[in-house]
Structure 1
Amino acid sequence: MRIPSLATLVAGAMLSLAAPVPATPALAADPAPAPTPAALVCAPGAPCAQPLPVRVVVVSLFEIGKDEGDVAGEFQLWKARRGLTQRIPFPQSFHDLYYNPETQVLGMVTGIGTARSTAATMALGLDPRFDLSQAYWLVAGIAGIDPEDATIGSVAWARYVVDGDLSHEIDAREIPADWKTGYFPRGTQGPNDTRTPLDPAGGEVFAVNPALERWAYDLTKGIALPDSPAIVAERAKFTGYPRAQEPPVVLEGDTLSAMTFWHGEKLTGWANDWVRRWSGGKGEFVTSAMEDTGVMQAMTYLDRIGRADRDRVLVLRAGSNFTMPPPGVDAATYLLRENEGYAGLEAAVENLYTVGSKVVDALLGDWNRYKDATP
């Protein structure tokens, strides 16, 4: 094989450079990228000249695994079905935010418990990247449900949100013989002391805007919620509880928030007494949760400085499990079995979205009316 000389290679290269280059068809110009909203350029928590307008904040409390593609917790359906595709970093809280720039719906996951829900709500409310002055807030989560009131899969609009942590407590093994519980309000002399407890503005109870709550309930009470074999099988065990044995419904019912996942017939009785007491006899315990008083406390503070409107908060809870076992089953056995998976989880998540979306659609559909005045 004959190897060309260096001079030959250079001469060939020069000729190639001098030869005309055939014309190539012009490439179509790439579409201009969509402008990045100014709020996404702003640093989290830093001043922002053009904050994102928010019409509805959907407040989820937890997600089981990923935000999409696996078993759905409270957030997945909202993210997928409401087009919450724009991810917004939120390092000052538990979980990044997701936003739909067309509908101006913002999705938040607070994390479990009143500590995280309070911190997340305050962090969002104080973040200058968002204009929340006209936003409605929908707290939408799963819950334990009292079989005296409804079955799993049912969805309840809360009128009162009551805290189950702020209290005195004596271990049940050490309480006096005439006490039915060792849990009693601060400032009283025990559970048999019927005096009015401390100032109700102390964080033990929050009333949801009654006109807004009633509007949301009236709008959704006629929704027929689907039944399922899992719900049918579970509720059949609750003999002697007629409402627990009926199909899922939309109802009004109040929620008790506590950092402890409690369970059992006696604690369900305590929850009913506790809600009745703190609501002045006007409330009815229906669902048990862990975060709602935290959200309401933060909203109360944000309202005082004009960062959010406390009268635009709705609390919606769907029963994924019962707060007590069926007849013939002890509380410990039933709770430990439920910890392996709630019988009503799938139905609760689906029905929560169905009912909550009805309200979101109504607000967005008549925004020119509702942006300035609540229903």
Structure 2
Amino acid sequence: MLFALAGLGLVGGVADARPQAPAPVADCQPGGPCSHPLPVRIVIVTLFEIGKDSGDVAGEFQLWKERRHLDVRIPFPQGSHDLYYNPDSQILGVVTGVGNIRSANTTMALGLDPRFDLRHAYFLVAGIAGIDPHHASIGSAAWARFLVDGDLAHEIDAREIPADWKTGYFPRDKKGPNDTSPPKPSGEVFEINPALRDWAYTLTRDVVLPDDPHIAAERARYVGYPMAQRPPFVLTGDNLAALTFWHGAKMTDWAADWVRYWTRGQGMFVTSAMEETGTYQAILGLDRIGRVDKNRFMVLRAGSNYTMPPPGVDAATYLLRENEGYAGLEASVESLYRVGSKVVDELEAHWPKYEKTVPQ
């Protein structure tokens, strides 16, 4: 269904006087002015889709489109993927494209598009992730408070580092990885609304997540990692965004140290992805001009794969195997929908309240 809604409905050929959601008319074209912007209550931010948007193997977007009836297609040439909207629930679905550059571009383009009223919209990032087996299992879903950038750094090839260096990757303002001076953030770390994160976690912590023999068998391989062997569950934990798809025990140690460093010990690395720091920087810019409210931004990531191999398997072998198909992909996209929908349902059911006041 293309983007063609009228501000006045017809019932039996007679004008329906019941209130209807405002909708763009003919002058609402991409990049043009819009006298009747679409009201948006919730933006579902996904990063990629596999194949078609519905009817085949589900990526991050498909379950939301099908189950939330996001049937109105809205052309979005300034982004990576057309938008989809439900005029009844006023939910808007976005596919940003992979990586923080695409996610930042798409988010900024959406926020500046005069066809949408996003002033009271809640943004829910719902994406798959690598998950640290020290803290959770594949299929588990984690609500983040801190978003940490893993790209802004100095790097020396590990084969050329001094003997007393643990890694050749270190913050830009440091003299090396052994420099213990406190962090001076300049785009490396962001804290999103912790009260909203805690509210979302409390609301969803008892949601039953999907499990099956396939992911149970994968979990069983992580001997010595009790959290990795648990059936999928909901937790809180922070996100590291980096454009390089990294893997392995040493890299997982680096990620934990990196998150701990930039959050001054307040954060805990749980999920790895590529987009959040780009998405949120766009949100911050849009908030400064009153287009969105940065306090209505949430990040939910579910583990499609572990960030390191099980005992007895080398990192290269496990990474190449996972690239043929993530062990927890199906479970993770279902977890994202089940957990995220709990929040969406609550916001929808009490919209007059949450439109005015951000939950805490």
TM-score scaled by length of structure 2: 0.93
Whether the aligned pair in 2 keeps the contact of 1:225 and 1:248 (CA below 8 Å) is yes
Task: Provide, for residues 229-253 of structure 1, a one-character-per-residue CA deviation record: whole Å limited to 9, x for no partner.
Answer: 1111101110010111111100000
Cα displacement (A) at 1:45? 2.0
Q: Distance in 2 between matches of 1:69 and 1:333?
A: 32
Q: How many Å separate the matches in 2 of 1:59 and 1:110?
A: 7
**Counterpart in 1 of 2:353?**
369
Cα distance in 2, alignment partners of residues 226 and 298 from structure 1: 33
Equivalent of residue 339 in structure 1, options 314, 318, 323: 323
- 1:79 corresponds to which letter in structure 2? K
The answer to whether the Cα contact below 8 Å between 2:272 and 2:307 also exists between their aligned partners in 1 is yes
* Counterpart check, 1:322 vs 2:295: no
Partner of 2:164: 178
Retained in 1: the 8 A contact 2:27–2:33? no
- Structure 2 residue runs of 5 or longer lacking an equivalent are 1-10
Q: Does 1:53 align with 2:39?
A: yes
Match of 1:359, SS state, is helix
Q: Report Cα offsets for 1:168-197 as digits up to 9, x if no partner.
A: 111111111111111101111111111123
Q: Which segment drifts farther, 132-141 or 36-45?
A: 36-45
Q: Percent identity among equivalent residues? A: 68
Change (3 A) 1:171 1:33: farther
Shift of residue 37, structure 1, vs aligned partner: 2.9
Unaligned runs of 5+ in 1: 1-28
Residues in 1 aligned to 2:37 and 2:62: alpha-carbon distance in whole angstroms: 26
Q: Determine whether 1:271 maps to 2:281.
A: no
| SS in structure 1 of the partner of residue 257 of structure 2 | helix
SS of equivalent to 1:98: strand
Question: C-alpha displacement at 1:76, in angstroms?
Answer: 0.1
Match of 1:137 among 123, 127, 146: 123
Q: Pick from 80, 83, 88: which aligns with 1:97? A: 83
1:348 aligned to 326, 332, 335, which one? 332
Provide the aligned C-alpha RMSD in A: 1.6
Identify the residue that residue 108 of structure 1 maps to in structure 2. Answer: 94
| Mapping 1:18-97, distance limit 5 Å | 37-38=23-24, 41-97=27-83
Distance 1:41 1:224 in 2: 46
Q: Which stretch has the larger CA shift, 101-110 or 224-233?
A: 224-233
Over 4 Å off, 4+ runs: 29-36
Which residues of 2 match residues 305-316 of structure 1 at below 5 A?
305-316=289-300
Is 1:290 the counterpart of 2:242? The answer is: no
**Aligned residues of 1:39 and 1:51 also touching (Cα < 8 A):** no
Label 1:131 to 1:181 Cα distance change in 2 as closer, same or farther (>3 A).
same
Determine helix, strand or coil for the equivalent of 1:59. strand
Contact 2:210 2:334 in 1 (8 A): no
Which residue of structure 2 lines up, in the alignment, with residue 7 of structure 1? Answer: none
| Residues matched between the structures, number | 345
Whichever residue aligns with residue 328 of structure 1, its letter is G
Moved more, 41-50 or 254-263: 41-50
Residue aligned with 1:371, SS = helix
Shift of 1:61: 0.4
Using a 3 Å threshold, how does the CA distance of structure 1 residues 32 and 258 change in structure 2: closer, same or farther? farther
SS in 2 for 1:38: coil
Partners of 1:121 and 1:295 within 8 A in 2: yes
Superposition deviation, residue 32 in structure 1: 8.2
TM-score after normalising by structure 1:
0.90
